[in-house]
Structure 1
Amino acid sequence: MEQQTKRIATLDLIKGMSVIGMIIIHTLLINANVKSQSESVIGSFIVFLGRGTAIFMICMGITLMTSRHQSLKSAIKRGGMLILAAFFMNFMKFIIPAIFGFAPDNFIQKYGWHGPIEQQYVYLVQLGDILQLAGISLLFVGFIREYVKNKYGILAIGLLIALVSREVSGINIDYPVLNYISDLFFSNDYPAYIYFPVFPWMSFIIIGMFFGKWYLELNHNSRELFKNMLYIGLVFVALGAPLVFMYGEYNYNGFYHMGPGGVIYFAGWTLIFLWAIFKITSKMKENKFTSLLKYCSRNLTSMYMIQWILISWGKGIFGYRQYGIGTVLLLIVLYMILTFAVQNLLDRLKKKKPVLVLEHPVSVEETVLK
């Protein structure tokens, strides 16, 4: 039975769904005009789906505790590789179109650039996304995993990071290189550099580690784990909701730079969502769609990079934020096909036969630049 195995099949399916979801979300954000994003039902729903980043973060934390790679050295190595992958992705997303002259004018004008072109290139390469957050977090959570053995100690660290997030938000060390590092940790200047600063977003990963540790203590009983997620999720929502809705300026302050109340509130709904998905998928039989999702889960990091690069390059063909929802839906299908085609090509280049049915899907941290 699935509940007695070390891996959690539901997480494989959720991570696979995130690959499909991010292609949909990113295509909309890049190609849909403002009206289609904010005023259409489909556009508003897709934008809402984009608020599900915490789902991926908590899943990442769980798999960090259940992965076969448990050494501190492995976490540091993989964290460094993720950070390098992030800079490589930014180079491919932004610099290649700029060099070959197919970056649309209205995209360049969006940032209001007037300085030297070299400075603009540096700006683009440094833009902080989920890969930077995941890489930096791995460097730190490796130490937590190594030295904090009590699951409640792990949870306390995650909540402490959330608690201080608003206090440290915006800290900047006005010195070359160090100022970028401080942005990665504490940025409050969205959308300039960092979309997902370590404070508060690492909290979600550490909360996931708490549940990963709990899962091991439950002897890999996923049914009990997700039941516990539901209970704690309800408590988190009850605690976070009044903070967000009554003291929102401090506790929410926008999706990308939440305070403690926002972290607890979003973590609560995420845990409830994970329980609901478990209830739906626990009785689901293996089929072509679940096999496809597990394939996406296994290649999550590479497919994340592929789809972003393709969508960014596509701006040179389709423009930037110009289309209605009908055209965007067609573009979503196109980018789906292209992303899977490129991933399939990479599989072949690595002399690996692309197999959709996987007996042992592995986590994002296990597949980084593998």
Structure 2
Amino acid sequence: MEQKSKRIAALDLIKGMSVIGMIIIHTLLIYANVKSQSDTVIGSFIVFLGRGTSIFLICMGITFMTSSHQSLKSSIQRGGLLLLAAFFMNFMKFIIPAVLGFAPDHFIQKYGWHGPIEQQYMYLVMLGDILQLAGISLLFVGFIREYVKNKYGILAIGLLIALVSREVSGINIDYPVVNYISDLFFSNDYPAYIYFPVFPWMSFIIIGMFFGKWFLELNHDSKKLFRNMLYVGLVFIAIGAPLVFLYGEYNYNGFYHMGPGGVIYFAGWTLFFLWAIFRITSNIKENGLIRILKYCSKNLTSMYMIQWILISWGKGIFGYRQNGIGSVLMLILLYIILTFSVQTLLDILQKKKPLISFQRISADETVLK
């Protein structure tokens, strides 16, 4: 029976949707002017979609627990590879356009830089994105999977990280290199802006691990798992909502550096959303769209890097935050086509069957577990 499959088909579809979604979101954020982002219905909706990072992270935690690669060594290796991929992506996104002279002045002026060019380049390479968070998290959650066997113990660790996140935010040891590491974990002060510090964002991955462990205990019963997600999600929303709306300065304080209430609140809505997607997709038969989403899920890491590099390079052609919503919609279509084209080319070079063959796809090989 489908619901007893060791894979959770709905998660593959959700991760596939996230690939399409991130191209849409990043294209808007890079190319749309402020008015198009905030004063149009389409722009506001896409910006709202950009708040769905927790969906991807919880899915990552679930698949991390249910993956065929269960060794601690495998987790550490993949974490290290992701960190290397993150810095390589930043190099390709920022340094190549800057060195070759097709980074727009408007983008450079955004930072108001002063000082040697090497320092500016270092800043760009060290910008902290989702790949840094995923890489660092894999270095730690492998130990949790290896040594914490009770699912409620896993959940307690995730909630504990959320609970202390505001207290440890801003910790900084004034010492070269160590400063950057403390930034990745706790803050966004020096030497680069960290969009997703480990505290609190790793909480979402560990909450996902809790449900991944639960899925195994339920003998791979997806229906029961997502029903449990609904129940836990509603409890999280009930707890998180008053904390966010009544004590928001401490519990929310902005999307990227939220406190404990924000984590619980967003996790609750994420779990509700996952349950809803499962209910919607559980009876859908295999078709072209489903195969495309599975393909995206399988190649999530590489397509994430490809779309960011292409979008960043395009600033020199289309400008940085200077386009209206109509132009942005055309650019979204362009970058979806370009991303799939480059990924297909990589498939051919790696002698893998490209999307057009519509082969049976498994996401077990995805780097981001």
Provide the TM-score with structure 1 as the length reference: 0.97
Instruction: Report the counterpart of residue 50 of structure 2 in structure 1.
Output: 50
Matches within 5 A, 1:22-37: 22-37=22-37
| Residue-pair matches, total | 367
> For residues 113 and 359 of structure 2, what CA distance do their matches in structure 1 show?
47
Which amino acid is the alignment partner of residue 62 of structure 1? I
Q: Distance in 1 between matches of 2:103 and 2:24?
A: 21
CA deviation profile, 1:217-274 (whole Å, cap 9, x unmatched): 0000000000000000000000000000000000000000010000000000000000
Rate the CA distance shift 1:189–1:40 in 2: closer, same or farther, 3 A.
Answer: farther
- 1:175 is displaced (CA, Å) by 0.4
The amino acid of 1:219's aligned partner reads: N
Displacement, 1:360? 4.9
**1:329 maps onto 2:329 in alignment:** yes
Instruction: Measure, in 1, the Cα distance between the counterparts of 2:189 and 2:121.
Output: 19
Cα-to-partner distance string for 1:286-307 (whole Å, 9 max, x where unaligned): 1000000000000000000000
Structure 2 equivalent of residue 361 of structure 1: 362
- AA partner of residue 185 (structure 2): F
Q: Which amino acid aligns with 1:244?
A: V
CA-atom RMSD in angstroms: 1.3
Q: Which residue in the other structure is 2:311 paired with?
A: 311
CA distance in 2, matches of 1:74, 1:360: 22
Cα distance change, pair 190–16 in 1 and its aligned pair in 2 (3 A): farther
Counterpart contact for 1:10–1:277, Cα < 8 Å: yes
The answer to whether residue 123 in structure 2 is matched with residue 126 in structure 1 is no
SS in structure 2 opposite 1:118? helix
| Letter paired with 2:146 | E
Aligned position for 2:259: 259
For 1:6 and 1:358, locate their aligned partners in 2 and report how far apart those are by CA, in whole Å. Answer: 19
Contact 2:62–2:211 (8 Å) recurs in 1: yes
> Is this contact kept in 2: 1:19–1:297, CA < 8 A?
yes
Q: 1:190 to 1:54 in 2, by over 3 A?
A: farther
Q: Does 1:212 align with 2:194?
A: no
After superposition, give the CA deviation of every residue in 1:294-334 in whole Å (9 maximum; x if it has no partner).
Answer: 00000000000000000000001111000100000000000
Q: Equivalent residue of 1:42, what SS?
A: helix
**Secondary structure of 1:200's aligned partner:** helix
CA distance in 2, matches of 1:255, 1:151: 28
Please give the per-residue CA displacement for 1:61-103, whole angstroms capped at 9, x wherever unaligned: 0000000000000000000000000000000000000010000
User: Match of 1:338?
Assistant: 338
1:70 alignment partner AA:
Q
Is residue 157 of structure 1 aligned with residue 154 of structure 2?
Answer: no
Relative to structure 1, the CA distance from residue 189 to residue 254 in structure 2 (aligned partners, 3 Å threshold; closer, same or farther) is farther
Shift of 1:192: 4.6
AA of the residue aligned to 2:63: T
Q: Cα offset for 1:367? A: 2.7
**Deviation of 1:115 (Å):** 1.1
* Whole-angstrom CA distance in 2 between matches of 1:36 and 1:352: 40
Cα distance in 1 for partners of 2:21, 2:299 equals: 14
Letter in 2 for 1:268: G
Change (3 A) 1:23 1:191: farther
Report 1:67-78 matches (<5 A). 67-78=67-78
Contact 2:173 2:179 in 1 (8 A): yes
Comparing 245-254 and 354-363, the one that deviates more = 354-363
What is residue 110 of structure 2 aligned with on the other side? Answer: 110
Closer, same or farther: CA 58–191 of 1 in aligned 2, 3 Å = farther
Change in Cα spacing, 1:4 to 1:191, as seen in structure 2 (3 Å) is farther
**1:115-162 deviations in Å (ceiling 9; x for gaps):** 111100000000000000000000000000000000000000000000
Cα separation, 1, equivalents of 2:207 and 2:334 = 36
For 1:233 and 1:338, locate their aligned partners in 2 and report how far apart those are by CA, in whole Å: 37
What 5-or-longer segments of structure 2 have no aligned partner? none
Alignment partners' CA distance in 2, 1:191 and 1:5: 46
The ranges of structure 1 where at least 4 consecutive aligned residues each deviate by more than 3 angstroms after the TM superposition are 188-192, 355-360
Partner of 2:181: 181
Amino acid at match of 1:103: A
Structure-1 residue corresponding to 2:240: 240
Report the TM-score, using the length of structure 2 for normalisation.
0.98
Report the 3-state secondary structure (helix = DSSP H, G, I; strand = E; otherwise coil) of the residue aligned with 1:194: coil
- Conserved? CA contact 2:80–2:135, under 8 Å: yes
1:277 aligns to 2:277 (yes or no): yes
